[in-house]
Amino acid sequence: MSYDDPKSPSPTGRRPFRRGGAYVAVAALVPAGLAGWLLWQVASGSEEQGAPGAQTAASPSGSQSESAAPPEKNPDGEDEEADKGDKGGKDGKGDAKSTASPPESGKGGKSGPLEGRLIVIDPGHNPNNFRHPKDIARLVDIGTGRKECDTTGTSTNDGYTEAEFTLDVAHRLRNALREQGATVRLTHNGERRFGPCVNERARMGNDWKADAVVSLHADGSGAGNRGFHVISPAKVSGGDADTGRITGPSRELGTRIAGGFVRSTGSKPSNYIGSGTGLDVRDDLGGLNLSTVPKVFIECGNMRDSKDAALLKSADWRQKAADGISEGIAGFLKG
C-alpha cells in the first residue's frame, strides 16, 4: 500500500493511484507507555529520516526476489478464492459480491492452542490488477465515502511487486497458523482477474465470522523512510461503516502483532508514521471501516527504500515476518 506524495513521480511514468485520507494521531488512542514498550524491544539506534513520497507499481516486472514459498495444497479448499462464480463480478449495486459459505470451525488445522479459531488473511492487491485498470478504478462505497475498488500496489525499484510479496507472506502465515490448530482462509489466492474490491474483502471476514483478520501490505514511501507499522481502524460511523465495537480489540490485535514482528524480524517501527510506536490509526480505509470483526493492516516495510527492499525480497526475512505476525495473532486470541 502507498502513501502518495503528489510531487513524487512514478517510476513507470504513470500517475499512481491516490490513497488520500486523514491520519489520526495514534498518541491520542494508544497509552503513552506503548511507545516505550515497543522501543524497549528494539535494538538501540535510529534510522535516518526521510520525507514520505509514495509510488505504485504499474505492472509486475522481473522479480529480483528469492524464490517464493509455493502455495500448500489445501484439500479442504479453505484458502481458495471466495467467489468461484463471476470472478471480479458485481451484484445489483455494482460491488463485487462474495458467494462463499463459512468453513467449518477448526477444519483443516492441527490440534493446538488455536484449534477452533478462524483467521482470515487478506493479501493486499492482486498480481493481475494491472491488467484491469478500469475495473479496479471503479468506485465502491466504504461507508464514509467512495474509493477505488483496489489498486495495483507498489513495488521495489527493480520490480518486485507488493502483490507478489503479500501472497508469499500470506502462504507462510497460513502455514504457521495451521501449525497451531487454526482454520485459515485467504480473501484471494491470486487466481481472480482482479481484486477483490476493498468492500468485498471486509465483507468476507464479516460473513465468515472471523476471530481476527490481517491485511498484508508493504508501503511505497520515499527513500530513507524505513520500518513497519500496523494500522487499526478509527472510530467511524456512516453508511455501512460502524467500527465502534471493534476499535478496542483491533488496537489490541495491532499491538500484539507489532510486538511479535519486532521480536521475530528485528525490524524497527516506522520512522515516518506512528511516532516510533509502529502503530497508526486511519479512518479512510474501506477494508477497516466496513469490518465488523477485529482487523488490522500491516505495512511490513517500505519497498522504495533500498535497505527495506532488500529485507522484503529475502525469503528468510519473509518467513520471520510471517512468524512474527502469527505470534501476535496467537497472543491476541489466547488473551
Q: Given this model, what pLDDT does residue 206 score?
A: 98
Cα torsion through 281, 287, 290, 295, rounded to 10:
-60
pLDDT: which is higher, 41 or 248: 248
Give the residue from 71, 74, 178, 196 showing the smallest Cα distance to 125.
196
Q: Given this model, what pLDDT does residue 272 score?
A: 98
Residue 321 has pLDDT above 70, yes or no: yes
Q: Given this model, what pLDDT does residue 57 score?
A: 62
Q: Given this model, what pLDDT does residue 41 score?
A: 44
Q: What is the mean pLDDT of the chain?
A: 79
Q: Given this model, what pLDDT does residue 7 score?
A: 36
Give the pLDDT mean for 291-319.
98
In degrees and rounded to multiples of 5, residue 281 shows phi and psi of -130, 135
Q: Which helix (H) or strand (E) holds 105?
A: none
pLDDT: which is higher, 192 or 50: 192
In degrees and rounded to multiples of 5, residue 264 shows phi and psi of -80, -40
- What digits encode the pLDDT tens for the residues 136-182? 999 999 998 999 999 999 999 999 999 999 999 999 999 999 999 99
Q: Which three cell numbers stand for residue 27?
A: 498518541
Cβ–Cβ < 8 Å for 290, 143 = yes
Relative to beta strand 212-219, strand 295-302 is: parallel
Taken as a whole, the chain contains a residue count of 335
Give the residue from 52, 204, 48 showing the smallest Cα distance to 119.
204
* Matching residue, cell 479448499: 77
Q: Given this model, what pLDDT does residue 181 score?
A: 98
Residues 6 or more apart in contact with residue 255 via CB below 8 angstroms: 30, 34, 230, 279
Q: How far apart, in whole angstroms, are the C-alpha atoms of residue 195 and residue 188?
A: 8
CATH number of 23-43+104-334: 3.40.630.40
Q: Given this model, what pLDDT does residue 335 score?
A: 87
Q: How far apart, in whole angstroms, are the C-alpha atoms of residue 257 and residue 296?
A: 9
Give the residue from 254, 36, 71 showing the smallest Cα distance to 173.
71
Give just the sign of the alpha carbon dihedral 329, 180, 264, 204.
negative
Q: Given this model, what pLDDT does residue 1 score?
A: 65
Hey, is 297 helix, strand or coil?
strand
Predicted structure pTM score: 0.76
Angle among Cα 261, 267, 268 to the nearest 5 degrees reads 100
Q: Given this model, what pLDDT does residue 226 score?
A: 98
Q: How far apart, in whole angstroms, are the C-alpha atoms of residue 42 and residue 166?
A: 24
The 10 Å Cβ neighbour count of residue 314 is 14
Residue 52 has pLDDT above 50, yes or no: no
The 10 Å Cβ neighbour count of residue 179 is 13
- What digits encode the pLDDT tens for the residues 100-129? 333 333 345 578 999 999 999 999 999 999
Radius of gyration of the chain (CA): 18
pLDDT: which is higher, 53 or 122: 122
Q: Given this model, what pLDDT does residue 110 score?
A: 78
Q: Which residues are catalytic?
A: 299
Give the residue extent of every domain in the chain. Answer: 23-43+104-334
One-letter amino acid for residue 193 of the chain = R
Q: Which three cell numbers stand for residue 9?
A: 513521480
Q: How far apart, in whole angstroms, are the C-alpha atoms of residue 219 and residue 162?
A: 8
Give the pLDDT mean for 42-71.
44
Q: How far apart, in whole angstroms, are the C-alpha atoms of residue 229 and residue 279?
A: 5
- What digits encode the pLDDT tens for the residues 62-106? 444 454 444 444 433 343 333 333 334 333 333 333 333 333 333
Give the pLDDT mean for 197-209.
98
Q: Given this model, what pLDDT does residue 296 score?
A: 99
